[in-house]
Chain A
Amino acid sequence: MKRRDFLKLSGATCLALASLELDNRFLRRLEAAEVSELPGSLGAKEIPSVCDMCFWRCPIIVKVKNGKIVKIEGNPKSPTNGTRICARGNAGIQAVYDKDRLKYPLKRTGARGEGKWARISWEEALDEIAYNIKKVKEKYGVHSLALFDHGASAGFFREIFEALGTENFSNEPAFFQCVGPTILAYLFTYGYQAVDPAKIDFENAKAILLVGSHLGENVQVSMIKSWITALEKGAKLIVVDPRFSVAAGKADLWLPIRPGTDMALLLAWMNYLIEKGLYDKDFVKNYCEGFEEVKEAVQGYTLSWAAKICDLPERDIKKAIEILAEAKPHVAIHPGRHTAWYGPQDVQRHRALAILTALLGAVNVPGGMYFPTKPHLQKAEFLELEEDHEVEPPEESLKEDIPFANIFHGSPTDCIIKATLTGEPYPVKLWGVCGVNLLQTIPNPYQTIEAIKKLDFIFTIDIMPTESSFWSDIVLPDATYLERYDRLYVCKENKCYVALRQPIIKPMFESRPPFWIAKELAKRLGFKVRFKDEVEYLNHQLEPLKLDVEKLSAQGGIAVFPAKPFRDKEDLSFGTDSEKVELYCEAFEDEDFDGVPKFIPAPAPPKGYVRLIYGRVPVHTFAKTMNNLWLNHEWPENKLWVNDKLAKQLGLKDGDEVILENQDGTRSDPIKIFVTPGIRPDAVYLAHGFGSRSPMMTRAYKKGVSDTFLMTHYENDPMMGASSHRNNFVRFIKDGKVINIPELRPVPPEIPRFELKKSA
């Protein structure tokens, strides 16, 4: 530079500038860094970790080069997924580098849900949360605090809320909108947690039964692998689904059942097995209780009756049960995962599946149910509580009327929302939301929004600015799974291993790992955290295995142990009261529910409407990934599946746009239709998770239609409190005109019809 004074700044400016005493804190001297100039992922450093693009958590290898994550692959040392990961696993990179992600703690500056924010410091954000927790606790009592949580790291926050003393410390939407009914059904039949993930040995099955399953669209790599292996080995597949799903596409027999009638089919099958003597007599005699009760309860359910109720050809129903009976005991019956469908029948429907499994003797045998093997880890409690630390239950619990809610953590989400709205039986005034998007998960999001409006305070910890974040007062940016340690992934299935999730890069912007956030929050609430950091916490757990984080990472991020999925026949007993498989359930009967399931129909669509059903696409997880650059590119929006004959009758063509109006008059944005013979004419189908209502997720916002925002009606399972998702009905609006939908498959009188509200 020739002239340094080219700027001609005035003396006054120079003086003023000098008074600011600025130093260049932005840069530091660099050690000689190794820089790889090789193309692509060549020359990248490989770090083992665990995926978190869905809850399945496959072990992975992450390649990082010059500080940037460049590729993700399956961990070849993993006995489950091996080198394979799914599209979402590959796209994890774009979860990190999404420019819409939450970057710094935010404080709401406008009205709730208005979308006005200011960045604040972590100090300020955490102080504010702690202040509000204390204030609400003092003013309304401890049970007025509620935490909604999900994910690998939610446990730290759960411990904090539990220690605070609220009964609402873990209200997992994932449980009360999803797998809860099945867990209860199988727990009371088999006495162990056989459901999450399904303890089913697909790989060695000779026949497989899937009822309303998203398998193949909901990609869980290891389960898909073993399912496909079974099909390659010649297993027969029966799929019960009103829609020609991916699984149906691979089926030997597809039963396009009338939605809401699955119980009729299962009960008729049970009856048929018993009547024809096709059940596994040895297994039933030696290992089951309550056979006579079942025999008596199901005897009226004939195949021809089921054919009428389910709207299926009787010969197909018969063929299916004969395939299953012939393959017994090597029959894989998936217990079901998301099963909060209709409300009153949900637990009993899965009890029926559990009983059918036992009648086929498909337990403790290759191809059937197995027992999980757990690695020996040391329990690690996050908080170190005072010895005299006590929590008091409320005078009147939220879940008083739900007899089986108590065996699970926390409270049903619906109870919390209702209490927040009504103040009964006590007020709920503060919500913490960790890693879950309430508004795209829980039916009737409009009601949830009204509840949020009544809160004194709501904070959210998330990675993306989801709808829940959008409605929060304080939003904390969570680190992605590629930027943090996490709780160990423990595979306790018919394979047994422990895998380490570890940071590949430092958390971007000011996102922080949940451990750190929880620790800072705990401190402010007067709790002592037992561990200095994640590594100390993980090492404590790994101790009995003579491992620590460093060793585990060095040996490829995974420690595999021998598994024993099947017990010796002479040792075979179950964790139930009778130590046998309880075909008849006394505990249910004691609470005035059926000890053996009886047919409970789900109301049929009101005249002029079809049922709204929903499912998944293989490249997305819930409503979590729609903003991901690569996944959005693959599948940016959903389409509405409409039966071809129905479409023809209505004059609708593939690609036409309609608006959906549900039974309560709630309308969707326009959506393109996909005309197909692969769905019944009494239902339409939407893939879940699309149609984001958070304008802060720019790629996903208003792309496609949200099924959840069309669910204004739901019913609660009376046993454990799940909220149903399949009791909503829609008709179309095209060019401003309402199209009532003709009934192409008449409904028999045994099935009641959903009654429209007078006002609708």
Chain B
Amino acid sequence: MKKGADLSQLFILLAKLWDYPTNLSPETKEVLEKLHEDLGLSTSEEAFSIKDEELREEYTRLFINTPLGVPAPPFASVYKGGGLLCQKPMEEAMAFYRRAGVGPASENEPADYLPLELAFVAYLLTEGKTELLREFLNKHLLSWFPLFREALLKAQPHQFFVALVSLTEALLSKLNEEVSA
């Protein structure tokens, strides 16, 4: 397996996990644990022992529908578009995708949905489009991801999501350092 592919796979994995992670397989849990070790991230023990039902419920609370509003909608527009869906950041994301000649495979979620953006990072890595990746990270994804992370942590999520957001943050920031160097 090529190393470029590793990274790309890693971001696909992240995209999948942010896109409603049901049936967290033992293999996935293993990867996550190892990644945390490799990156020197501290995780609480309960992070990856989350039960499937609990995971679904917590995901729904954090990201889909919940009393008093979901704490951390996974869409750029919510953070950079006045708390709304489908604003300028969505068009911005779409414009980046178009420049790479791709678009969302499904029209279910708006283009600025976090899993889509992470999948786009994976795609750019596979294609070796470093310039575009740097621009995408700096001008778009990293402009809202920290706000999303903050909103998520404020909601006192299950340790699984604390671990997932730390992992995503660590990988994005390392990647950014790398492409900006």
Question: Chain A residues in contact with chain B, CB under 8 A?
Answer: 1-10, 12-14, 16-20, 22-30, 33, 35, 66-68, 97-100, 102-104, 106, 109, 115-120, 465, 505-510, 629, 695-696, 698, 701
Contacts and interface: CB of A to CB of B under 8 A. Distances in A.
Given A118-B57, A119-B59, A30 B101 contact: yes
Contacts of B69: 99-100, 696, 698
Contacts of A13: 31, 34-35, 37-38
Contacts of A19: 27
Contact of B107 (A5, A25, A67, A465): A67
Interface stretch (B42-50, B120-128, B141-149, B156-164): B120-128
A97 B65 contact: no
19 contacts: A4-B4, A4-B7, A7-B10, A7-B38, A7-B39, A9-B38, A12-B34, A14-B1, A18-B1, A20-B13, A20-B28, A27-B116, A33-B98, A35-B95, A99-B69, A106-B65, A117-B64, A465-B65, A698-B68
A16 B27 CA distance: 7
Contacts of A507: 108
Contacts of B35: 9, 13
A100 B65 contact: yes
Given A103-B64, A109-B57, A23 B12 contact: yes
Nearest to A68: B86
B89 interface: no
A24 B66 contact: no
Majority DSSP secondary structure for residues of A touching B: loop
Given A66-B94, A465-B65, A16 B31 contact: yes
A9 B33 CA distance: 12
Contacts of B165: none
Contact of B101 (A18, A29, A104): A29
A510 B68 CA distance: 22
A506 B109 CA distance: 10
A10 B3 CA distance: 12
**Max chain A CB contacts within 10 Å: which of B10, B61, B85?**
B85
B104 A27 contact: yes
Contacts of A116: 57, 61
B26 to A, nearest CB: 10
Given A17-B6, A66-B91, A118-B56, 5 more contacts: A4-B4, A6-B177, A27-B116, A35-B95, A102-B65
Nearest to B133: A1
A125 B97 CA distance: 33
A22 B12 CA distance: 7
Majority DSSP secondary structure for residues of B touching A: helix
B9 interface: yes
A228 B177 CA distance: 66
Contacts of A7: 6-7, 10, 38-39, 171, 174
B103 A27 contact: yes
Nearest to B103: A30
A16 B128 CA distance: 23
A475 B84 CA distance: 23
Interface string B84-120: 1110001100110110011111011110000110011
A35 B73 CA distance: 27
Contact of B38 (A8, A22, A33): A8
Given A1-B179, A9-B35, A99 B85 contact: yes
B123 A27 contact: yes
A1 B178 contact: yes
Contacts of A1: 128, 130, 178-179
Nearest to B16: A22
A6 B178 contact: yes
Given A17-B9, A27-B123, A102-B65, A117 B60 contact: yes
A685 to B, nearest CB: 30
B126 to A, nearest CB: 7
Contact of A508 (B105, B108, B119): B108
Given A28-B103, A698-B68, A17 B97 contact: no
Nearest to B120: A27
Contacts of A701: 68
Given A118-B60, A509-B108, A97 B12 contact: no
Contacts of B122: 24
Contacts of B85: 97-99
B109 A509 contact: yes
A28 B105 contact: yes
A465 to B, nearest CB: 5
A9 B108 contact: no
B105 A25 contact: yes
